[in-house]
Amino acid sequence: MTTIAPLPRTAPPTPARPAISNAEIAARFDEVAALLEAQHAGPYRVQAWRNGAKTLRRTARPAADILDADGLEGLEALPAIGAALARAIRELVQTRTLAMLRRLHGESDPAGLFASVPGVGPMLAQRLHDELDVDTLEGLEAAAHDGRLARIKGFGPKRVAGVRDALATRLRRRRPYEPAPDEPSVAELLDVGREYREKAYRQELPLIAPRRFNPAGERWLPVLHTTRGDRHYTALFSNTALAHRLGRTHDWLVVYYDGDDGERQCTIVTATRGPLKGRRVVRGRERECISHYHTGP
């Protein structure tokens, strides 16, 4: 008698997670607006997020479908959805989280974000955040192209190229990456830093309780929302492991701002050596800072 072996059991396929709805995205936008308002951001910036939420609630077609079919351009064609809000929608569609919202809550987890990039595991992700002092995918992409990522131990040419390709896909680049041509001047960035430090030391800024390195949940981190012309800035003292280890949590300043191709950031520090010793400088733009101090007031 022939015995027929039973067919191997296979686990049922995991159902695809439903795409985030317009109502959910709108709720996140309203949350951003409420936090910006509580942290004394400009009223026009607050209203922009609220208007974006209203648009999403009135749009019958899912934003995820618009993004798939027409990219960021399709989202920007919606009323009250500019480039910054379109990128926020993309981030929520792809990850269901919004780095800006987590930052406003004091819950930023850049290591977790970087670990989601193929070729970057949890340990490397933490090192990237600590050593590069970046916490956005756009910041990581810039580091992958300007040589900073290649200087991190463990990132040879093949891994760097893989990160570049993964980020191009994740950020839906339709053209090759190019350095941003519209960077603010070091004079403008240093002026934002001056405003932050003056207001922080006068205790005029709202405080948030960062999740990392803050087991007691203390509200100690001042946050500034300010503008220069049409550009919006958010500034906070650095809360990285390296800043804590070196005692620079009230010196190193991280400044976030919107650019044409996504959110960008820079770090402003007090130089400890060289011709700029004792001066506030934008890390990575020291040559421009030398010219600024030489020709400035």
For the segment 53-74, what is each residue's pLDDT rounded down to a tens digit? 999 999 999 999 999 999 999 9
106: left (phi over 0), alpha (psi -120 to 50) or beta: left
78: Cβ contacts below 8 Å, ≥ 6 apart: 55, 56, 59, 66
Across residues 12-25, what is the average pLDDT?
78
pLDDT in tens, 222-263: 999 999 998 999 999 998 878 888 899 999 999 999 866 677
The CATH superfamily of 22-96 is DNA polymerase beta, N-terminal domain-like (1.10.150.110)
Contact 259, 180 (CB under 8 A): yes
Query: Average pLDDT over the chain, rounded to whole?
Result: 87
Q: What tokens does 244 get?
A: 């804590």
Across residues 183-189, what is the average pLDDT?
93
Give the dihedral of Cα atoms 52, 54, 58, 62; nearest 10 deg: 40
DSSP 39-52: TT--HHHHHHHHHH
pTM, 2 dp: 0.77
Fold of 113-162: DNA polymerase; domain 1 (1.10.150)
Please indicate whether the domains covering 22-96 and 113-162 agree at the CATH topology level: yes
pLDDT in tens, 118-146: 888 888 887 887 777 777 777 788 888 88
Give the E-state strand segments of the chain in sequence order.
207-208, 221-228, 231-237, 253-259, 262-270, 280-282
* pLDDT bucket at 213, cuts 50 / 70 / 90: confident
Across residues 193-215, what is the average pLDDT?
93
Task: Evaluate if residue 15 carries a pLDDT over 60.
Answer: no
42, 135, 145, 164 from 125: Cα distances, Å? 34, 10, 17, 15
Q: Domain coordinates of the chain in residue numbers?
A: 22-96, 113-162, 186-295
pLDDT in tens, 92-123: 998 888 888 988 988 766 777 788 888 888 88
Q: What is the pLDDT of residue 270?
A: 96
The Cβ of residue 181 has, within 10 Å, a number of other Cβ atoms equal to: 8
Which is higher by pLDDT, 154 or 224? 224
Segment holding 197, helix H or strand E: helix 186-201
